[in-house]
Structure 1
């Protein structure tokens, strides 16, 4: 998935939700993204993210706004902002009841509202990649009815994991009317 992001990121504004240590953001930056924005609840993970960027020769100074890092609940962050992105990556946890998050997060239950909020921040010709590690996950039909949705799991499994292709599932999601190429 990260290699795909790197290949598609040149000149684009990239958003990484549930960024963990921001390796997808790093790949986007190294692939020539105009900007990267990484959002995660954990300040610890965001510190690692910044360190990863610095180790790869990238600046993380918020003054230049090229590579931004936000410690926030992704739902709240999406609701509060207005910036638009060309490329979005969402790889949420299967379940979370973090003290920093109001309530609980369940990827099967909450993915519809999460994807809808993220699609509101996606440019009309942009692409959102949604991935998760829940083996029993099923994309809700509502998302498939509203947006162009293509499952790309087989394209995102590295050769080391070909024997266990249920390691994750991934989808390419776009606004209606775009070519699927």
Structure 2
């Protein structure tokens, strides 16, 4: 498609933000933002952002996501947003991941990470010779031809697939295949020597969250040996696999989704883990807390990695408001001096706020704590220094110190 240009003025009160490299365009920043209300502007329209006097600030594109209405692409006034522009961006990103391409123990990682690599709304992941492009708005999808052409010119590939992560009425054929030969799923990838099954033909998620790679390795290498480990919101059991390979005495994986059972079993088998030593429970996590309470179950380590938002028949969970309560329940079923691996992936909660949530939870749980280590995004998930929300992942390894009961003489 041919991309039109529209000039928009940025409010004086937001000017410094954009002059300081802020990448996200939001409606309130634009003067006369009523222009977006009648759907007359097509997503993918290029926007020349200026100050009130008409001085150039940046070129952005119009694309609606839950975060905003577009992303800045360039701060060079005469830079063309064409095939060469995208090729340079992709080449620069891939060059920064060369070491990962050459790692024999890991064959899946992020190649392009949205605003961290200079183009918000676009991510590209690599799965053992196969690329998966995620488009997060109709706006960025309108540049598809140039982006796919550029990727094909830069990398060798067995196949390139896409997922449209925005509301659309387009027909996706062949599970989203856009180049190369169709793949028989699952793709078997390696992560730090362990093996996992990946599916592109089963919803938005593919079977493993690549941003937790270093956390999983840390659990395996430093925390699992001889432990009784509970993995909550376990999805396909990747944390449990690493715990088992690290010598855990046993693991229990709990997730509400029915498919978590077969997918976790599949990943255990891929890694030659005896299923009889490990439990997989299809259950609402909040009901499982009640079960543990009734049975008096406690664990040496609990891995807590909830989604930012989750809904079951009886409960709606939001990380923004419910995380301390969830963590307080987790404290109850963790032994004294046990470990909680507390993860939060909400971009609206920064590390400082997350630490405050941890403190609140331990007050609720009437216990003390020591944060042993903190993890954030791995290097392939590049972030944007002017947009702190891009560094969304926060994982704390927390030692639980329960107050000893006083005994009357």
TM-score range, shorter chain: 0.7 to 0.9
Shift of 1:151: 8.2
Shift of 1:2: 0.4
Task: State the alpha-carbon separation in 2 of the partners of residues 21 and 73 from structure 1.
Answer: 15
CA contact (8 A) 2:340 2:400 kept: no
SS at match of 1:70: strand
In the TM superposition, what are the counterparts of 1:100-119 in structure 2 within 5 Å? 101-119=313-331
Shift of 1:156: 4.4
Q: State the match for 1:44 in structure 2.
A: 259
Q: State the match for 2:369 in structure 1.
A: 148
Cα RMSD after superposing both structures: 2.1
Q: State the match for 1:173 in structure 2.
A: 398
In the TM superposition, what are the counterparts of 1:120-135 in structure 2 within 5 Å? 120-135=332-347
Shift of 1:54: 0.9
Task: State the alpha-carbon separation in 1 of the partners of residues 336 and 315 from structure 2.
Answer: 32
Task: State the alpha-carbon separation in 2 of the partners of residues 103 and 114 from structure 1.
Answer: 12
Q: State the match for 2:299 in structure 1.
A: 85
Shift of 1:19: 0.3
Task: State the alpha-carbon separation in 2 of the partners of residues 92 and 74 from structure 1.
Answer: 10
CA contact (8 A) 2:337 2:402 kept: no
Shift of 1:161: 2.2
1:61-87 deviation line (CA, Å, top 9, x unaligned): 3xxxx2000011111101211221111
After TM superposition, the runs of 4+ consecutive aligned structure 1 residues lying more than 6 A away are none
Gaps of 5+ in 1: none
CA contact (8 A) 2:336 2:402 kept: no
Task: State the alpha-carbon separation in 2 of the partners of residues 10 and 151 from structure 1.
Answer: 17
CA contact (8 A) 2:325 2:361 kept: no
Q: State the match for 1:160 in structure 2.
A: 380
With a CA cutoff of 8 Å and minimum separation of 6, indicate the structure with the bigger relative contact order: 1
- Judging changes above 3 Å, is the alpha-carbon distance between structure 1 residues 177 and 42 closer, same or farther for their aligned structure 2 residues? closer
Structure exhibiting the larger radius of gyration computed from Cα positions: 2
1:135-159 deviation line (CA, Å, top 9, x unaligned): 1123324225443253844x34322
In the TM superposition, what are the counterparts of 1:3-82 in structure 2 within 5 Å? 3-7=217-221, 8-61=223-276, 66-81=277-292, 82=296
TM-score normalised per structure 2: 0.39
Gaps of 5+ in 2: 1-214, 385-389, 404-409
